[in-house]
Structure 1
Amino acid sequence: MTPMTFVYLIAGLVLLVAGAEVLVRGAAKVAAQFGIPPLVIGLTVVAFGTSAPETAVSVQAALNNSGDLAIGNVIGSNIANVLLILGMTALVAPLIVSRQLIRLDVPIMIGASLVVYALAWDGGLSTLDGALLFTGVLAYTGFLIISSLRDKSAADDNDEFAKEFGLHQAPKPYAWLINLALIVAGLILLVSGSNLLVEGAVSLARALGLSELIIGLTVVAIGTSLPELATSIMAAIRGERDIAVGNIVGSNIFNLLCVLGLASLVSPLTISISPNALAFDFPVMIAVAVACLPIFFSGYRINRWEGLLFLAYYLAYTLYLVLFATGRPLAQAFGDAMLGYVLPLTVVTLAVIAGRAWHRQREPL
């Protein structure tokens, strides 16, 4: 393993984060100049922007026939988004969960997770599978746009978002050229960063004797989730706690439908799915998505103790990956204990908490 491996990894992550930020800024201002409401921009451009690193890395990995890296990046990012990022954000401040997330977006996230798992069950994601997933993200985005345009109560959110991105300001002459240049620069940074990160990750995996799936689930997944981490923590600090949660759920949906959809479409071969991913990582991702419902529903907030629970699970998941990668005999027993005892027990506990919260809400005042 050479020092250049770490240079590629660090430089790739820096370029990905910078590219996503520049792309979102430019695209938001261009969309505003065409009269698109700021809330719609937030639901589409910004949601895609925070998933741009995952998109760039997974597409590049698929083009390089590194399917395990592409799959591991998405699964690992979705798990890290909920357990690591929401856990850390909830420790900063208890998070508010909107009713729309419970009724619509979280069920869509769970449904998308199950659909991807079903498509991958035969051991691969084909071009047809990618087309189905990408059609799903188009339908989801269209629904968000139509719903937000009909929502007259979103004016305050529009104003806050517009102030953050400077969309209230009168456009300067030739401003569209500047914003278009930002979009192009952001795309160049994303492509360059993804190339460096994929090359560094593959080199690291080979040098350490690890599979590309493990590297994708850990190093690459955490690295490409940095935009979500920064967005959610800053939203929590600013008091926009519902945005912090919505950002994560929206990003996970985009990862499953858009990132995997595009990666499967551009891949010259069917993306093969590791049996280990099907047996353990996919079920963990689905369990994490399902666990959001009772936690979010119990008072429509995520308390600090629930954030700590998320973090504990992420540490346990990472520990399993380390044990498995190093060939420790405890890995199988640890994984069986997590899937067979700890996760079901937690689901039952959270279901009881959610049931009590639902019962309290139905009690007469």
Structure 2
Amino acid sequence: MVSILRATAGCYPAQTRVRSRVMIALAAVLIGLVVLVWSADRFVSGAAATAWHFNVPPLLIGMVIIGFGTSAPEMVVSAIASSQGNPGLALGNAYGSNITNIALILGVTALLSPLAVHSQILRKELPVLLAVTALAAWQVADGVITHVEAFVLLGVFVLLMSWTIYQGLRGPADTLATEVRAEHESAENMALGRALFWLFFGLVLLVAASRLLVWGAVLIAQSLGVSDLVIGLTIVAVGTSLPELASSVIAARKGESDIALGNVIGSNLFNTLAVVGIAGGIAEITVPPEVLGRDVLSMGALALLLCVMGYRRRGQGRINRVEGALLILCFVAYTCWVLLTSAA
């Protein structure tokens, strides 16, 4: 009995230390996420306003500058995680954000306001998203993303962005360009000096918040004995996707469905190609076997479902409230799947 009591008593200090570490890490993650989302918004505003001052076309602002800006959290977090020896967190952040974008963000957005797909550019990019997801599956099938494969991803990203911009600028006026101009009309009134300040100050805060977030996420994983991949797929993925959630919901409430859907498609292409490419370029990524059969499979199934919704009706696609609820249920089921398999 005495030995049992001593053993039990000896556990309390260790349990207290673990609990304290987790609480500190959670605080770091929450503070990092709040600053990350705010700084990303400031960065996008400054970048868009700067672009307006230099007469950049609205379509280019929407597809490149705003697209890069809303995906900046994933990019910076994954780059820092990979450079600090946590490539699993980088990969989980990218793939988890893709699943969050389609299942949670589009689901919540469609539940609040059904989404209609008018833009021909977006309808062309839906099959591209499916093809890029297939490329990701092929790369992770052998259990590692090498430096060469990472540079292939970056090369495909550059070619894809160049083709999309070319198609958008040479064709007739597209609804996406009109909606971007209406959504960011206030950026035209921002002084150039103020725009440059928010551009650089937002970027500095973005990097600092990302470092804090990565530190907290790694500490949580170490304290709870789970892999950094799981933390990346869940907490970090949802947190870094908050800018897309905010912008998509606001755009949908204003009737700007193409911006809401464009945010998700652009972010997923950016995550799969650029974010994973940058992380893999910094350090080769060892891919656990469950990533292909669980995460990439879910990512591909959701991309295919999005293609069906975008193309199924003559003239335009549509995501109604029932389908939005279905997407949310898919997100809940996937999250439970991740937690159950990680516990096992």
TM-score (norm. length: structure 1): 0.83
What residue is the counterpart of 1:297 in the other structure? 311
Aligned 8 A contact 1:102 1:297 in 2: no
Q: 1:111 to 1:159 in 2, by over 3 A?
A: closer
SS at match of 2:102: helix
* Aligned residue in 2 for 1:313: 330
Alignment coverage as a number of residue pairs? 321
Aligned match of 2:6? none
Report deviation, 1:182.
1.6
Match of 2:99 in 1: 79
Distance 1:323 1:127 in 2: 32
Give yes or no for the alignment of 1:273 onto 2:291. Answer: no
Mapping of residues 50-129 of structure 1, within 5 Å:
50-98=70-118, 100=120, 103-129=123-149
Deviation at 1:276, TM superposition (A): 1.3
8 Å contact from structure 1 (residues 40, 144) kept in 2: no
Deviations 1:7-60 (A, max 9, x none): 210111012111211111111122222221122111101011111111011111
Distance apart, 1:155 and its partner CA = 7.9
Residue in 1 aligned with 2:227? 211
Deviation digits for residues 56-80 of structure 1 (CA, Å, limit 9, x no counterpart): 1111111011111111111111011
Pairing 1:143–2:169 present: no
Give the CA RMSD over aligned residues: 1.9
1:288 pairs, out of 302, 306, 318, with 302
Shift, 1:178, TM fit: 3.1
Provide structure 2 residue ranges, at least 5 long, that are not aligned to the other structure: 1-18
Q: Helix, strand or coil for the counterpart of 1:96? A: strand
Secondary structure of the residue aligned to 2:184 is helix
Task: Please report how far the alpha carbon of residue 128 of structure 1 lies from its aligned counterpart in structure 2 after TM superposition.
Answer: 1.4
Q: Give the equivalent residue in structure 1 for 2:270.
A: 254
- Deviation for aligned residue 1:163: 6.0
- TM-superposed deviation, 1:134: 1.0
* Structure 1 residue 160: Cα displacement: 5.3
Does 275-284 or 92-101 show the bigger shift? Answer: 92-101
Structure 1: tracts of 5 or more residues without a match: 328-365
> CA offsets, 1:238-285, max 9 Å, x none?
111221112111110111111111111222xx1111111122211111
| One-letter amino acid of the structure 1 residue matched with residue 324 of structure 2 | G
Where does residue 3 of structure 2 map in the other structure?
none
Give secondary structure in 1 for the equivalent of 2:255.
coil
Q: 1:160 to 1:256 in 2, by over 3 A?
A: closer
1:127-163 deviation digits (Å, cap 9, x = unpaired):
2112111111211221222222223324884475256
AA of the residue aligned to 1:20: A
Equivalent AA in structure 2 for residue 254 of structure 1: F
Cα offset for 1:103?
A: 4.1
**Whole-angstrom CA distance in 2 between matches of 1:323 and 1:38:** 45
Distance 2:176 2:123 in 1: 22
Q: Summarize deviations over 1:99-141 as a string: whole Å, max 9, x none.
A: 5256421111111111122122221112211211111121122
Structure 1: which 4+ aligned runs deviate by more than 6 Å? none
Aligned partner of 2:194 among 178, 185, 196: 178
Of the structure 1 ranges 66-75 and 93-102, higher mean CA displacement relative to structure 2 is found in 93-102
- Cα distance in 2 for partners of 1:54, 1:237 equals 25
Supply the distance in 2 between the matched residues of 1:134 and 1:277 (Cα, whole angstroms). Answer: 21
Q: Is the 8 A contact 1:67 1:273 kept in 2?
A: no
Closer, same or farther in 2 for the Cα pair 1:298/1:223, shift >3 Å? same
- How far apart are 1:164 and its partner, in Å? 2.3
